């Protein structure tokens, strides 16, 4: 990855295509049907699955299949400037795009009139919270035994000035404004079919650079998938 521009070195010493250190754990909330945590660098996400359970109010029920409902939120103390508790416009949008990303892989046709709730919470944030949330949620859904066609993994990729990067931290995502600035592209990739189930982009980037970013995302998601599958294999070994 060429670094012709002003961004020639990452703050934490990573290579430009290197993801931050990851860890995942299954079974972190005892009373839930499924739960998992996924950490990337300083970003921590937890996901809790409750359901399938009867959906109220009744008029929202779908007699053909169950529905997936995602709620994403950041804890008030997850960032340096406290966030007021409760939903806001950003969290509502992220909930929805995450719901779409996960809906691409779950199959709730056997559970008509029910809802599967996915709660994603961010105790500590350092950019990439929505993708960490998706990674945790995919594990938690599998832990809950929800039928899934395949897994899904997600990563933030992008461009800092002229340099393509993988797994942006907070400085790269929000605080870098020099030269061409920062382009941030959260991407989710399905594990078997390698399709894109989440895509957002903010910034300025050429078509060919964008294509390279998607390639980078696919490579990184392979690594993430390994961490997810490893955590699921260890589920019975962990006592929490």
- Residues forming the site for another protein (CB under 8 A): 29-32, 42, 44, 46, 48, 50, 53, 71, 75-82, 85-86, 117, 119, 121, 123-125
d(CA 211, CA 140): 30
Cβ closer to another protein: 140 or 165? 140
Q: Got the DSSP string for 30-59? A: TTSSEEEEEEETTEEEEEEEEEEEE-SSGG
Cβ closer to another protein: 67 or 187? 67
Which tokens in the block code for residue 68? Answer: 């997936």
Smallest separation, CB 63 to another protein (Å): 23
Smallest separation, CB 81 to another protein (Å): 8
Smallest separation, CB 188 to another protein (Å): 21
Cβ closer to another protein: 74 or 97? 74
Cβ closer to another protein: 126 or 184? 126
Smallest separation, CB 46 to another protein (Å): 8
Task: Give strand ranges (E) for 12-113.
Answer: 22-26, 34-40, 43-54, 67-74
Cβ closer to another protein: 31 or 206? 31
> Which is it for the CA torsion 124, 129, 135, 136, positive or negative?
positive
d(CA 72, CA 99): 9
Smallest separation, CB 124 to another protein (Å): 4
36-61 per-residue burial string, b: 16 or more CB within 10 A, e: under 16 = bbbbbbebbbbbbbbbbeebeeeeeb
């Amino acid at each position: 990855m060429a670094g012709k521009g002003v961004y020639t070195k990452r703050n934490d010493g990573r290579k430009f295509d290197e993801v931050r250190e990851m860890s995942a754990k299954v079974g972190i909330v005892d009373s839930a049907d499924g739960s998992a945590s996924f950490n990337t660098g300083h970003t921590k996400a937890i996901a809790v699955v409750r359901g399938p359970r009867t959906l109220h109010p009744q008029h929202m029920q779908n007699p053909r299949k169950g529905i997936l409902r995602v709620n994403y939120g950041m804890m008030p103390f997850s960032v340096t400037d406290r966030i007021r508790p409760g939903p806001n416009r950003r969290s509502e949008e992220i909930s929805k795009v995450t719901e779409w990303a996960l809906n691409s892989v779950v199959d709730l046709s056997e559970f008509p009139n029910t809802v599967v709730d996915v709660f994603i919470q961010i105790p500590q944030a350092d950019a990439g919270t929505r993708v960490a949330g998706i990674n945790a949620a995919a594990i938690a859904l599998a832990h809950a035994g929800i039928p899934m066609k395949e897994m899904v993994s997600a990563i933030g990729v992008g461009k800092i000035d002229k340099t393509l990067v993988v797994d942006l931290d907070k400085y790269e995502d929000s605080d870098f404004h020099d030269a061409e600035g920062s382009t941030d592209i959260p991407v989710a990739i399905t594990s078997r079919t390698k399709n894109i189930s989440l895509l957002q982009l903010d910034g300025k980037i050429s078509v060919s650079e964008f294509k390279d970013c998607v390639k980078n995302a696919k490579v990184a998601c392979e690594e993430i998938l390994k961490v997810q599958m490893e955590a699921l294999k260890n589920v019975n070994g962990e006592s929490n």
